[in-house]
Amino acid sequence: MTLLIEYTLLYASVLILVALGGCFAEHSGVINLGLEGIMVIGALGGALTMSTIATSFPDTSALVIVLVVIIISILFGVVYSALLAVACINFKGDQTIVGTALNILGTAAATVIVKAINTAADPDNVSSVVKYIQPKKAFLFDLGPFEFNWFMVVTIIALVAAYVTLYKTKFGLRMCACGEHPQAADSVGINVYKMRWAGVLISGALGGLGGIVYITAGVSEWKFEYGVAGFGFLALAVMIFGQWKPQRIALAALLFGLFRALSNVYTGFDFMVALDLPSGVYNMMPYIISLIVLALTSKKSRAPKAEGIPYDKGQR
Amino acid sequence: MNLKMRALLKNNAFQAIASSLLCIIGGLIIGFIVLVFINADGAWEGITDLVKNFFNYKNGTVALKYFGSTLVKTAPLLLCSLSILFCYKVGLFNIGAAGQYGLGAGIALYCALALDMPWWVCMILAAVAAGILGGLSGILKAYCNVNEVISGIMLNWISLYGVNILLTSVKETTSPYTMAVIGVNPDAIIPTIGLDKLFSNNQYVTLAVPLSIIIAIGIWVILEKTKFGYELKATGNNKNAAKYCGMAEKRNIIVTLVIGGALAGLGAAMFYLTGYEQWNCSASSVPAMGFNGISAAFLGGLNPIGSIFSSFFIQHITMGGAYLDKAFYCAQISDLISAIIIYLCGFVLFMKHLMNKGIAKSEEKEKRKNAEQVSAENTDKEGGK
């Protein structure tokens, strides 16, 4: 049971971070379908940092490891999301195509980079696996019977910060204006392009952070050929279910996280083992649930009105 | 700029081809730079090996055989790219093609291996099942306002795990792969109609290859020459206007995704019923064919005929990745290059805009020049009076 709670909280953290990322991009008026790819690249940055620490600086203190890994993951995510921003905001590219391209590119680039590093270190090693057993322990701390993860704390901070930024600051409210009616925002002197850049870069930071949380959840190595198994899209479903509002996103993420966690730990429950279902059924669960939830809630969606439409100053 | 060149640049088809070529060149250059970063010495050889693919074999018959293999894998890719472009013309992004392809493979193999059906029945059933899956996305879009990209991704994973469960009953006992179709039910193999002889006895070159090209032409005819296609495109351009004109916009969305799904499913049947490859029942990633279809569709300028060439090219470099020197590089470089190509396709509109702007500028210049000439002639005439 404790294991189920731990996993639920971990997966919920991933979903909250990435969904908040999507939320910022969409409030500024850009649909970020590339979150999946951004997660992979963020995870790549974090994983490589951890494996470097493990081999070159084995006696780094836990606090430094946590901070460095988080910062590098965020940085990777931000830089990668700039590809989306350039194409979609400045060159008015199709946001769906560019987002999809980023997803495919993320996995392909991560695989190529990791394989190149692995092969350079050992010519017989052609796998795309990065190991980080030792440094990963820096992220864990015990509280009673539970094993917590510093990422959960970071997530709560991010959640509060996102709420405050979106609803209580000039910056956040201006950003939302750009997603609802960019022409009106422009007419009162808000630079729509800058605001959209900010939205996309923030989504890159949160997506990159979500990526490293995802690949450290429960495992100590990651095979980058797998990408992040549709988690970026699950996060978008969470965002829609959460009606683009941080507090609701958090609740939705807990629900989805629970179903995702079940596929990891169902063998620990006697009644589920007794059902004797193939493991594929549990793997399908989060996706089926999200489809049903989306079907029920999308009808009255409160999506930002101008999302997905490139802003053109000259347009009426 | 002279007149002929301007007329050429103005031509839509030329613009499409030119921007696709620019995307390819950009993709290859960035791919080359990546190779240089990994290992500078073998980079040039690497990129040429990748582009050469089957030409790497000096022996003509062997090269021909591998040319055949490239064609065998081009057929399903072409069908996937048709699925995506058909839906895109109606304003829908069918990213679910990957899952529809997976389901098509599952149904085709199950019908062939467990139910002992002939190849054409397997094919039809695969198309029907995948069409229903696509239709599900369509219904969710039309009646529940669920973004088809997100429902498509969810269905991709659901169908992947579903197919794994389904095909576990017909897999080899010692490996995760399904049994070879030819050993269990030779009737389920698509007939070669003599095409294998043309490609140095490559038994996998079957009716599927010409059939895929015929389907591509068929899709072009439907989109460009029929009322049905016109209605679908009108729905894509402006849903509300289409509704106002009395077109059933909800039905059109669903029908489009059913056709898109059926195309992807058919593509899977065309591939797995050649016996070229078996399904891996412990696969933990969605088949890449559906995503490569996106590259092929956009690289082909969203034209069914263009898709034939772009599918071949994408498949060509994907298989060319296998010829890279394994000591330094990995085969995924080709995935990287096709991903960069799709990313660059996002700039196509901008490229066309630049071309049109250039033309407009030079036309204006010419006009001004003509006007000056005319006025100069006029003053001459006046002077002559």
Using an 8 Å Cβ cutoff, are B207 and B271 in contact?
Answer: no
- pLDDT tens-place string over residues A183-207: 999 889 899 999 999 999 999 999 9
Percent of chain B with pLDDT over 70: 98
B168 close contact with A: CB closer than 8 A: yes
Q: How confident is the model at residue B329 (pLDDT cuts 50, 70, 90)?
A: confident
**Which of B342, B348, B352, B354 best tests the A interface by mutation, with the highest count of A CBs <10 A?**
B342
- pLDDT tens-place string over residues B131-167: 999 999 999 999 988 888 889 988 999 999 999 999 9
Q: From first to last of its 316 residues, what are the pLDDT tens digits of chain A? A: 778 888 899 899 999 999 999 999 999 999 888 999 999 999 999 999 988 888 888 777 888 888 999 999 999 999 999 999 999 888 888 888 889 889 989 999 999 899 888 888 877 777 888 888 877 787 887 777 777 788 888 999 999 999 999 999 999 999 999 999 999 998 898 999 999 999 999 999 999 999 999 988 877 788 888 888 888 888 988 888 888 899 999 998 998 899 888 887 877 777 777 777 777 888 888 889 888 988 888 777 777 888 878 888 777 5
Three-class secondary structure assignment of A171-211: HHHHHHHHHHCHHHHHHCCCCHHHHHHHHHHHHHHHHHHHH
- Does B34 sit within 8 Å of A105, measured CB to CB? no
Of B293, B382, B328, the C-alpha closest to B78 is B293
B249-272 and B60-89 helices cross at what angle (nearest 10)? 170
Q: Which residue of A has its CA nearest to B284?
A: A226
Percent of chain B with pLDDT over 90: 33
Fold assignment, B3-364: ABC transporter involved in vitamin B12 uptake, BtuC (1.10.3470)
Q: Tell the residue number behind the tokens 């699925």, with chain if given.
A: B83
Burial of residue A112 (CB within 10 Å: 0-12, 13-18, 19+) is buried
What are the structural domain ranges in chain A? Answer: 2-300
Q: Note the helical H segments in B249-303.
A: 249-272, 288-299
pLDDT at A16: 95
All residues of chain A having their beta carbon less than 8 Å from the beta carbon of residue B155 are 287, 291
Burial of residue B313 (CB within 10 Å: 0-12, 13-18, 19+) is buried
One CATH from 1.10.3470, 1.10.10, 1.10.260, 1.25.40 for A2-300: 1.10.3470
The shortest CB-CB distance from A105 to any of B140, B153, B343 is to B343
What are the structural domain ranges in chain B? Answer: 3-364
Residue B110 has pLDDT above 90, yes or no: yes
All residues of chain B having their beta carbon less than 8 Å from the beta carbon of residue A87 are 343, 346-347
pLDDT at A77: 95
- B9 compared with B70, residue with greater pLDDT: B70
- pLDDT tens-place string over residues B343-353: 888 888 778 87
B196 close contact with A: CB closer than 8 A: no
Q: How confident is the model at residue B2 (pLDDT cuts 50, 70, 90)?
A: low
**Which of A40, A112, A128 best tests the B interface by mutation, with the highest count of B CBs <10 A?**
A112
pLDDT at A316: 58
Three-class secondary structure assignment of chain A: CHHHHHHHHHHHHHHHHHHHHHHHHHHHCCCCCCHHHHHHHHHHHHHHHHHHHHHHCCCCCHHHHHHHHHHHHHHHHHHHHHHHHHHHHHCCCCHHHHHHHHHHHHHHHHHHHHHHHHHHHCCCCCCCEEECHHHHHHHEEEECCEEEEHHHHHHHHHHHHHHHHHHHCHHHHHHHHHHHCHHHHHHCCCCHHHHHHHHHHHHHHHHHHHHHHHHHCCCCEEEHHHCCCCHHHHHHHHHHHCCCCHHHHHHHHHHHHHHHHHHHHHHHCHHHHHHCCCHHHHHHHHHHHHHHHHHHHHHHCCCCCCCCCCCCCCCC
pLDDT at B382: 65
> Chain B window 128-167: which residues touch A at a Cβ cutoff of 8 Å?
140, 144-147, 149-151, 153-158, 161-162, 164-165
All residues of chain B having their beta carbon less than 8 Å from the beta carbon of residue A284 are 157-158, 161-162
Residue B365 has pLDDT above 90, yes or no: no
Mean local confidence (pLDDT), B238-261: 88
Q: Closest Cα of chain B to A34: distance in Å? A: 11
All residues of chain A having their beta carbon less than 8 Å from the beta carbon of residue B147 are 240, 298
- Does A236 sit within 8 Å of B339, measured CB to CB? no
